[in-house]
């Protein structure tokens, strides 16, 4: 596969998802109106960062043919964590929003949930990590 096509196939979804997160973070009020709004929003935090780490994992695995297994786990996790931190800093400039270390930790739960599932999948398939 040509490198440019490969690059867009794997990295364009990462960029699009990061832009969506940035856009949503720039909204002053994201209340759902549901009774369990707080819990729902925290679950959505986990899901949005689970998707981000999955897209990054997919991009690294698809772009770098001979990437070491440890790096395939560390790089997406580190980039997702850094994006969560930058997202919270971005929110500190949005009226009605604030920067929350609690949200960074909740975002990071999405990373852990993704990797727990990867480990379980690999263990089930008996694939060496």
Q: What pLDDT does 105 receive?
A: 95
Q: What is the mean pLDDT of residues 97-111?
A: 93
Q: What is the pLDDT of residues 48-67, one digit of tens each?
A: 999 999 999 999 999 988 89
More confident residue, 89 or 28: 89
CB-based contact 101:89 (threshold 8 Å): no
Place of tokens 């794997």: 10
Q: What is the pLDDT of residues 19-28, one digit of tens each?
A: 999 999 998 8
* Whether the predicted pLDDT of 110 surpasses 60: yes
CB-based contact 19:83 (threshold 8 Å): no
**Distance of alpha carbon 35 from alpha carbon 13, whole angstroms:** 33
Confidence (pTM) = 0.88
């Amino acid at each position: 596969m040509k490198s440019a096509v490969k690059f867009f196939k794997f990295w364009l979804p990462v960029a699009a998802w990061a832009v969506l997160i940035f856009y949503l973070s720039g909204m002053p009020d994201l209340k759902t109106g549901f009774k369990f709004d707080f819990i729902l929003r925290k679950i959505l935090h986990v899901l949005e960062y689970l998707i981000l780490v999955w897209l990054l994992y997919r991009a690294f695995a698809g772009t770098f043919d001979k990437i070491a297994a440890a790096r395939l786990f560390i790089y997406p996790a580190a980039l997702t964590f850094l994006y969560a931190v930058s997202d919270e800093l971005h929110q500190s400039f949005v009226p009605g929003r604030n920067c929350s270390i609690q949200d960074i930790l909740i975002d990071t739960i999405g990373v852990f949930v993704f990797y727990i599932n990867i480990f379980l999948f690999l263990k089930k398939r008996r694939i060496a990590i």
